[in-house]
């Protein structure tokens, strides 16, 4: 199920543990605006000015726990992704990749009506501000190889294995 996309700046942050390491969540009372892995490439200056508060993230943390336990296949969270119109379209396309499946950059580009835009899709995928929930980990290279993931290829492999039922993740 694709969540509604809106553009809003974060007002709070928190961190939570997970089987694949610490996760940084950004958002406000109405939407999740970011979910990142250390070293938090684009967010270090943002969190310095935001209060740390778990309250706005209770639903997101609960759904992430269910996902890592293998009990959730789709997230039902309000999202606010800040990006260009093209990035927004790519991120919406990512949310259409079914749980346990993968797609290539070229397939996504073709599905958007821009078959020669695989590289641009890759760049938008790289800028995805909400990892896991907007499943950029489900995108693979044209030959099916695991390529590029902001959280590292080990995390990408673990997420794909979780979704394919290859192995459960250890409890956080």
Compute the distance between CA of residue 4 and CA of residue 148 in angstroms, rounded to an integer.
26
pLDDT bin (cut points 50, 70, 90) of residue 1 is very low
Predicted confidence (pLDDT) per residue in 129-170, tens digit:
999 999 999 999 988 889 888 888 999 999 999 999 866 666
- Which one has a higher pLDDT value, 47 or 7? 47
- pTM equals 0.88
CB neighbour list of residue 43: distance below 8 Å, 6 or more residues apart: 13, 24, 26, 34, 36
Please state the domain extents for the chain.
1-166
**Per-residue confidence (pLDDT) for residue 151, from 0 to 100:** 87
Active-site residue, from 23, 32, 64, 136: 136
Determine contact, residues 37/59, Cβ cutoff 8 Å: no
Determine contact, residues 63/3, Cβ cutoff 8 Å: no
CB neighbour list of residue 39: distance below 8 Å, 6 or more residues apart: none
Known catalytic residue: 136?
Answer: yes
Question: What's the chain's average pLDDT?
Answer: 88
Compute the distance between CA of residue 64 and CA of residue 75 in angstroms, rounded to an integer.
8
Fold observed for domain 1-166: Arc Repressor Mutant, subunit A (1.10.10)
Predicted confidence (pLDDT) per residue in 80-123, tens digit:
998 999 999 999 999 999 999 999 999 999 999 999 999 999 99
């Amino acid at each position: 199920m694709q969540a509604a996309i809106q553009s809003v700046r974060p007002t709070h942050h928190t961190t939570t543990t997970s089987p694949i390491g610490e996760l940084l969540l950004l958002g406000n009372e109405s939407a999740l605006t970011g979910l990142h892995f250390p070293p938090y490439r684009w967010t270090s200056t943002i969190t310095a000015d935001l209060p740390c508060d778990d309250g706005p993230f209770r639903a997101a943390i609960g759904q992430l726990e269910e996902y890592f336990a293998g009990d959730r296949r789709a997230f039902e969270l309000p999202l606010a992704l800040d990006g260009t119109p093209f990035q927004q379209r790519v991120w919406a396309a990512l949310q259409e990749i079914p749980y346990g499946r993968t797609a290539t950059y070229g397939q996504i580009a073709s599905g958007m009506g821009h078959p020669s835009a695989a590289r641009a899709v890759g760049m938008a995928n790289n800028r995805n501000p909400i990892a896991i929930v907007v499943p950029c980990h489900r995108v693979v290279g044209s030959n099916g190889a695991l390529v590029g993931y902001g959280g590292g290829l080990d995390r990408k492999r673990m997420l794909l294995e979780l979704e394919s039922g290859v192995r459960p993740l250890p409890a956080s």
